[in-house]
């Protein structure tokens, strides 16, 4: 799913995989710490490792919560909190994260 939005005064495209039942939020998705000396070196767990996400992960953006039905999709929560969404400029290639496997915060080749 894609939608054109105005983001900080600029036309942008927000896209998602529409798997809200698997969306925990960027700050709430369970992860494993890979380097105890580097807080940024972690991996988000895959969808299969986690199962279904909470309907309300208790994170909000303004008056917007995680969508519970299609009419609410791609709201402020999606844009700023959802780990499954991507914001890009119009006409840019949009590649969403693949949560069928662990998603590393730091590229594996950088370790």
What are the tens digits of pLDDT across the range 72-91? 999 999 999 999 999 999 99
What local confidence, expressed as pLDDT, does residue 107 receive?
A: 75
> In the structure, what pLDDT confidence band is assigned to residue 111 with cuts at 50, 70 and 90?
very low
Domain ranges of the chain: 2-110
Place of tokens 């999606």: 78
- Give per-residue pLDDT as tens, 1-33: 999 998 889 999 999 999 999 999 999 999 999
Q: Where are the beta strands (DSSP E) in the chain?
A: 2-7, 10-15, 31-33, 42-44, 86-88, 103-104
**Prediction pTM value:** 0.86
Sort strands 103-104 and 86-88 into parallel, antiparallel or unpaired: unpaired
Place of tokens 């303004």: 62
**36 Cβ partners below 8 Å, 6+ apart?**
none
């Amino acid at each position: 799913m894609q939608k054109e939005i105005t983001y900080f005064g600029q036309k942008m495209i927000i896209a998602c995989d529409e798997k809200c039942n698997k969306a925990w939020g960027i700050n709430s998705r369970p992860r494993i710490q890979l380097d105890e000396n580097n807080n940024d070196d972690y991996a988000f767990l895959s969808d299969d490792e986690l199962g279904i996400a909470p309907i309300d992960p208790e994170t909000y953006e303004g008056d917007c919560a995680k969508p519970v039905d299609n009419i609410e999709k791609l709201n402020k929560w999606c844009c700023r909190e959802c780990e499954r969404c991507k914001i890009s400029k119009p006409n840019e290639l949009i590649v969403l994260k693949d949560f069928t496997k662990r998603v590393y915060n730091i590229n594996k080749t950088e370790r």
